[in-house]
Amino acid sequence: DQQVKQNSPSLSVQEGRISILNCDYTNSMFDYFLWYKKYPAEGPTFLISISSIKDKNEDGRFTVFLNKSAKHLSLHIVPSQPGDSAVYFCAALGSGGSNYKLTFGKGTLLTVNP
Amino acid sequence: DTGVSQNPRHKITKRGQNVTFRCDPISEHNRLYWYRQTLGQGPEFLTYFQNEAQLEKSRLLSDRFSAERPKGSFSTLEIQRTEQGDSAMYLCASSFANREVSDGYTFGSGTRLTVV
């Protein structure tokens, strides 16, 4: 049972435009959500996180929005740059005794065209 | 500190052979994790250590898999009697306890295992 879902396997945007990556989850017990970026032949790199009690967190060009009632979050990248081309994973962190274990979605391949 | 280091980067082995991977975490991190990633999937949790204690093992980790973290430093993941279904990228990550949200995990580049 996929608890974290990224329904778009790929996304293509033009340089300078906004990239919006979406993620849905089913487990309301998740406390935190994190986004990771992964280049080929490298491990995932942490980008940004958000607590389940917040609805927005911003860090430079990256903003994550959380809609808890819809169990939906999104990562906005503005403006998109060719170097942002990578696979983006949405991940959720459990609560209480599982507050160390990440549950990942399948990822979305973002391609930013020059 | 150069981050999380994993060796080897690639391993090709024949079915039925044993393999061992090594992970050197960031030195001040007290938590260490192993994840497995197969094609088209996100990383899946395998096991977790806090210092030298292995505190959780996923049901994905069959009896053929064993992980150790002697002295709370580096870790090894051994797979005995490898099967073709074990072919995957094995990722190691480390973190400082209770800073996973602010700092995230730090992942290594992984060991890609191919069982032929």
Which residue from A93, A74, A67 is spatially nearest to A3, judged by alpha carbons?
A93
- What is the edge-to-edge ordering of all strands in the sheet holding B19-24? B5-7, B19-24, B75-79, B65-68
Give tens-digit pLDDT for A44-101. 999 999 999 999 999 999 999 999 999 999 999 999 999 999 999 999 997 666 778 8
The encoded tokens of residue B106 equal 């730090």
Contact assignment for A43 to B93 by CB distance below 8 Å: yes
Give tens-digit pLDDT for B67-106. 999 888 999 999 999 999 999 999 999 998 877 777 889 9
**How far is the alpha carbon of B53 from chain A, nearest alpha carbon, in Å?**
14
Which secondary structure element, helix H or strand E, spans residue B98, and what is its range?
Answer: none
B33: which chain A residues are within 8 Å (Cβ-Cβ)?
100-101
d(CA A103, CA A92): 5
- Per-residue pLDDT, A2: 82
Is some CB atom of chain B closer than 8 A to the CB atom of A57? no
- Per-residue pLDDT, B1: 55
Peptide bond before B25: cis, by omega within 30 degrees of 0?
A: no
- The partner residue sitting opposite A106, judged by closest CB among B35, B41, B100, is B41
**DSSP symbol at A45:** E
Give tens-digit pLDDT for B41-55. 999 999 999 999 999
**DSSP symbol at A114:** -
